[in-house]
Amino acid sequence: MKTSAWPPAAPLAARAALSAALAALAGAESPTLTAQALLAHVLGITRSRLLAHPELPVAPDQRAAYEQLVARAALGEPLAYLTGQREFHGLDFLVEPGVLVPRPETELLVDLALARRPGRILDVGTGSGCIAVALAANLPQAVITAVDLSPAALAVARRNARRHGVLGRLTFLESDLLSALPASSLPAPGRPASSFQLIAANLPYVDRGALCDLPVARHEPWLALDGGPGGLALVGRLLRQAGPWLAPGGALLLEIGAGQGPAAQSLAYAAFPAARCQVHPDLAGHDRVLEVALPGPVRPA
Ligand code: GLN
C-alpha cells in the first residue's frame, strides 16, 4: 500500500526514508521507534548503526519492503510481528502472529521465579516460550516442561529454545492446562516424587466482555488473551488442577491482570488453604503476579 508521505521513487538515503515513515506513522504508537526499528530490520542492521549512519542508501526493493511494513504498522499491527522478533529478559525471541507478543511485565514473573531457584519447572500456556526459555537460560540445572494448547505456539517455543541453546532441558507437550501431563510424573507409593517445584503461567486473563473493545485483540491471538467471563476462568482452573503436581515447598507464579489481585488471591486460598498467597505489583503499580507458596521443606534441585 502506498502512502502520500513518500517522495517519488528515487534512490533514497536512510534519513529521507525515516522522515517519510514518520509522516506515515503519525497517530500510531511510538512512531519514531517503529520507523527506526522497521528500517533497521529491512536493511539488516542494528538500530544504533542506522542512527549513526543516516546517509546509508536504501535500495529500491528495500524501500518497497519498508513502505509495506510501515503501512501495516500504521494500521496497528504490532512491531514484533512485523520484525518477527522481540526482546524479553535480555534475550531475543522469535515471534509470529500465532503467539502473544512477550511483554515487559512478564519479566517480573521470571525474576520472582529465578529468586526461588527451582530445579523442576512447568510452564503452562508457554506461547512463544519466553518464560520457559528465559528460566532455562538462567538456571543451568533446571529441567522444564512447557505446555500449550496451540501446536503453532509450541513450534515457535521450540525454535526459541533451540535458538538459545536450551532445547535439551525442555520438554514440549500439547495440553489443555495440565490435562495431557503423563500421570507417571505424579508421586505414587514406591515412586519418588518427580513433581514440580515451580508452576509458572501467563494464561489468558482478559475479561471476555472487554476483549472486543481492546486494540490488542485485533492482532494478537484470542486464544492467548480470552480469560472467559471476568478473566480468571483459566487461572481458577489451573489453581484447582495444580495441587497434585506441586512438590512440598513448591510454588505457583501466575500472571494476572490489573485489579485482579483480590479475586485471584481468593481462588488461590480456596485451592491451597495452607499456602501463602501474595500479589506482586508491576512497575506501574498494577497487580501482576500471583505467588502461591506451599508449605514444606524446599529440597534443592
Ligand atoms: N498483558 C496482556 C494485555 O493486557 C494480556 C496477556 C494475557 O492475557 N495473558 O494485553
CA of 204 to the centre of ligand 1 (A): 7
Q: What's the pLDDT at 297?
A: 80
Average pLDDT over residues 109-121: 97
Q: Residue 48 has which C-alpha cell? A: 544504533
pTM exceeding 0.85: yes
Question: What whole-number distance in Å separates Cα of residue 129 and Cα of residue 123?
Answer: 8
Tell me the pLDDT tens digit for each residue of 158-170.
Answer: 999 999 999 999 9
Q: What's the pLDDT at 261?
A: 98
**Residue extents of the structural domains in the chain:** 10-76, 85-293
| Domain 10-76, classified CATH 1.10.8.10, yes or no | yes
Asked if the domains at 10-76 and 85-293 fall in one CATH topology, the answer is: no
Tell me the pLDDT tens digit for each residue of 181-237.
Answer: 987 666 565 554 568 999 999 999 999 999 989 988 999 999 999 999 999 999 999
Report whether 203 contacts 237 (CB < 8 A): no
Q: What's the pLDDT at 10?
A: 67
CA dist 123 → 3, 136, 181, 197, 239 (Å): 43, 11, 12, 11, 13
Is the Cβ atom of 177 under 6 angstroms away from ligand 1?
no
Average pLDDT over residues 60-80: 95
Percent of residues, the chain, with pLDDT higher than 70: 93
> What is the overall mean pLDDT for the chain?
93
**CATH fourth-level superfamily of 85-293:** Vaccinia Virus protein VP39 (3.40.50.150)
| pLDDT exceeds 90 at position 296 | no
Q: What's the pLDDT at 9?
A: 66
Is the Cβ atom of 131 under 6 angstroms away from ligand 1?
no
Q: What's the pLDDT at 215?
A: 86
Tell me the pLDDT tens digit for each residue of 228-282.
Answer: 999 999 999 999 999 999 999 999 999 999 999 999 999 999 999 999 999 999 9
Q: What's the pLDDT at 149?
A: 97
Choose one of 105, 123, 205, 282 to mutate for the ligand 1 pocket test, by most ligand atoms within 8 angstroms of C-beta. Answer: 205
Question: What whole-number distance in Å separates Cα of residue 136 and Cα of residue 116?
Answer: 13
Q: What's the pLDDT at 204?
A: 98
Tell me the pLDDT tens digit for each residue of 10-25.
Answer: 678 999 999 999 999 9
CA of 4 to the centre of ligand 1 (A): 35
Question: What whole-number distance in Å separates Cα of residue 87 and Cα of residue 69?
Answer: 19
Average pLDDT over residues 12-41: 95
Beta strands in the chain (DSSP E): 12-13, 57-58, 85-88, 91-94, 120-124, 143-148, 170-174, 196-201, 246-255, 276-281, 287-293
Is the Cβ atom of 204 under 6 angstroms away from ligand 1?
yes
Q: What's the pLDDT at 183?
A: 75
Q: Which of 284, 196, 294, 290 is nearest to 234 (CA)?
A: 290
Is the Cβ atom of 258 under 6 angstroms away from ligand 1?
no
| pLDDT exceeds 70 at position 50 | yes
Cα 193 to chain centroid distance, Å, stands at 30
| pLDDT exceeds 90 at position 133 | yes
Is the Cβ atom of 126 under 6 angstroms away from ligand 1?
no
Measured from the Cα of 206, ligand 1's closest atom is 8
Measured from the Cα of 231, ligand 1's closest atom is 8
Average pLDDT over residues 56-72: 96
Query: Is 55 exposed, middle or buried (CB count within 10 Å of its CB: 0-12, 13-18, 19+)?
Result: exposed
| pLDDT exceeds 80 at position 300 | no
